Structure 1
Amino acid sequence: MTDEQFDAIVADQLAQIEDRLLAATSSGNPFIAEAAGHVVAAGGKRFRPALVLLAAHCGDQFDFDRLVSAALVVELTHVASLYHDDVMDDAEIRRGAPSANLRYGNTIAILVGDFLFARASSQVATLGVDFVDLQARTFAELVEGQIAETIGPAEEADPIQHHFQVVAGKTASLIRTSAVFGGMVAGLGPAELRALEAFGFEIGMVFQLSDDLIDVVSDATGKTPGTDLREGVPTLPTLLLRRSDEPSDQELVELIDAGLADDDDLSRALEGLRASRVIEQARAEIIRRAEVARSHLTPLPDGPAKRALAQMCDLVVTRSS
């Protein structure tokens, strides 16, 4: 099979998962169905389902229905967490559309997130105890990551290491589990599952750290540039900025700490950050971790699936370039 043929097969399978994802948000109550489908219908990268698929294709064969269920579990869990995140962040936009909390109110957004978590639980129950156990442990990590972000670093803690801890819980844990789920569905052995676990975690870290950078450098996302910056959300570039001894960087810190409610102040902060060396420092960390992720693929069998996973390492870097 050529890589082009493999890509066509994966694209078709992702389309089938997309259809099933929309169906999984259905409800006998039309209002719940509308609210639950709001974020799903807005689209998304579907990075986690794609990772489930690619990991499964590292094996010789798998049951496609079980694979779809595994992909639905991770994406429903991810989407459910977005409903809760947007409430906590008081967000107004999600994937280029009005956020669910803005459209339906905080209470409904929280309840719909709970509804989607329940749908994910129904899916994982069909896969077996090992899947349920991993999903439960992953959900705990998601919550721990959110709590760590909410309370912030301890006084004696390194803020950058704390940020990595937050990213590990809130993002990398579920992406790691996506890769492992795919391998489990395909019946891969312990060595291959450990490789997918290590790869999935590291590529998950890269994925979020890339988002940190995108908030500053890109105008082509569903969010307004500088959204995290304006809201005071710690990201790798701003944390590196606070560690910098450059006078211009310290002036930027003062500007950010004074508040960026004014659009002109936000533009000045973005312009200054883009010109700072911390952007290249953040990009270097992203590239380093992407190469670590790539190195974890070594035990996997050669073939189009392994090459596609390796290509992910390049994609998560270039999306923030």
Structure 2
Amino acid sequence: MATLTIGNAALDSELQPRLDLVEERLRDAVAQSDKLADASSRHLVDAGGKRLRPMLVLLCAQLGDGSRPEVLDAAVVVELTHLATLYHDDVMDSAPTRRGAPSAHEVWGNSVAILTGDLLFARASTVVAGLGPAAVRIQAETFERLCIGQLHETVGPDDADDPVAFYLQVLADKTASLIATSARFGAMFGGAPRSMVEQVTRYGEFAGVAFQLADDVIDIRSDAATTGKTPGTDLREGVPTMPVLLLRRRVASPEATDEDRALLAAIDGDLSDDAALADVVARLAVHPVLDETAELARRWAYQAVGAIASLPEGDVKDALGAFAEALVARAA
């Protein structure tokens, strides 16, 4: 299972055993008495993943007492929530693979995949209930933002909206909200001072947007063996991503080239054929809008680091900085 580096071998060796405990608890949490529900619930857990949200919980808990048992429960909550969203996202995006394995809806159909996502949300709610009313409220608010982000992505911007700003808000809700809650839960249940909790929450908001912008680049420039997802799935389904939005902005400007216009026309054309999709992905991969998106991801990562400027100097602050950098270095 691949995880993102935090740039500190000693701290990583301290956190890894706790991450292993989270993994055990996660597998216990998805276990179901019903045979079908058990198989579908375990599907994505068994496929692995970076577990960046649990790692962020454990890391931020080091600002206080990272050994508190509530910290492990909080780490399980955020990963269960994340996994639940993946089941729903893959149905909505018609994604054929996830983490190198067939998506749940490809194995069991859309209805089972959606209901499995609901089951995991229910399990996350059960675990978070043990963390108290404040945690339940935060989880509910996060869940609301996740839904709003997906809703807005599905419906798209109004004519009066700036598409790029609209998309950044979608990323803040759909992706960054849960990453921010991961950082918040870690510091909160580690017993860190309120000021630190607020700082890492802001950090998570910025880092989450940076993470998804980097993913927009990776989804085009990496192959399926690296990402576990089929390149160009969003293009085929007409899901807007930052490179395409920047290309549309470029085509609408006087500086647009024939190459820009031809590429956008191909993106807006019929991409049901695998060869046509592969051709568009290859052309987009070398277009300047990919580098512009990567640079935008770096700017959001810098804002994340700036949000924790007042944290005490030390391993945790340094690791959070390295964590933010690692999120966007994947798109280099």
How many angstroms does 1:246 deviate by?
2.8
Shift of 1:270: 1.9
Counterpart of 1:233 (choices 230, 234, 239) is 239
TM-score normalised by L of structure 2: 0.93
User: 2:216 matched to 1:212?
Assistant: yes
Give the drift of 1:63. 4.6
Aligned twin of 1:36: 41
- Counterpart of 1:228, as a letter, is D
Of 109, 115, 119, 1:105 maps to: 109
Is structure 2 residue 11 aligned with structure 1 residue 11?
Answer: no
1:249 and 2:254 are equivalent in the alignment: no
SS at match of 2:26: helix
Distance in 2, matches of 1:22 and 1:64, equals 20
Distance 1:143 1:131, change over 3 A: same
Deviations 1:59-87 (A, max 9, x none): 2x245321111001111011011111112
1:267 deviates by 2.6
**What is the correspondence of 1:159-308 to structure 2 with a 5 Å cutoff?**
159-219=163-223, 220-244=226-250, 245-308=256-319
Aligned residues of 2:243 and 2:293 also touching (Cα < 8 A) = yes
**Cα gap change, 1:30 to 1:267, in 2 (>3 Å):** closer
Cα distance in 1 for residues equivalent to 2:133 and 2:16: 29
Write the distance in 2 (CA, Å) between the matches of 1:279 and 1:142. 26
1:268 deviates by 2.4
Gaps of 5+ in 1: none
Tell me the CA shift for residue 123 of structure 1.
Answer: 0.7
Distance 2:172 2:18 in 1: 28
- CA-to-aligned-CA distance 1:188-224 (integer Å, 9 cap, x gap): 2221111111100000001111111111111221012
State the one-letter code of the partner of 2:231.
Answer: P
Distance 2:257 2:204 in 1: 36
Amino acid of the residue matched to residue 178 of structure 2?
Answer: L
Q: Work out the CA distance in 2 between the residues paired with 1:63 and 1:144.
A: 34
Root-mean-square deviation (CA, aligned residues, Å) is 1.4
What's the secondary structure of 1:44's corresponding residue?
coil
Question: Sequence identity, in percent?
Answer: 46
Q: After TM superposition, what 4+ stretches of structure 1 lie above 6 angstroms from structure 2?
A: none
Structure 2, unaligned stretches of length 5 or more?
A: 1-6, 251-255
| Matched-pair contact (CA < 8 Å) for 2:84–2:120 | yes
Aligned residue identity for 1:150? T
In 1: Cα distance, 2:92 partner to 2:100 partner: 18
Size of the aligned set, in residue pairs, is 319
Aligned mates of 1:313, 1:146 — CA distance in 2: 24
Deviations 1:133-155 (A, max 9, x none): 11010000001001101111101
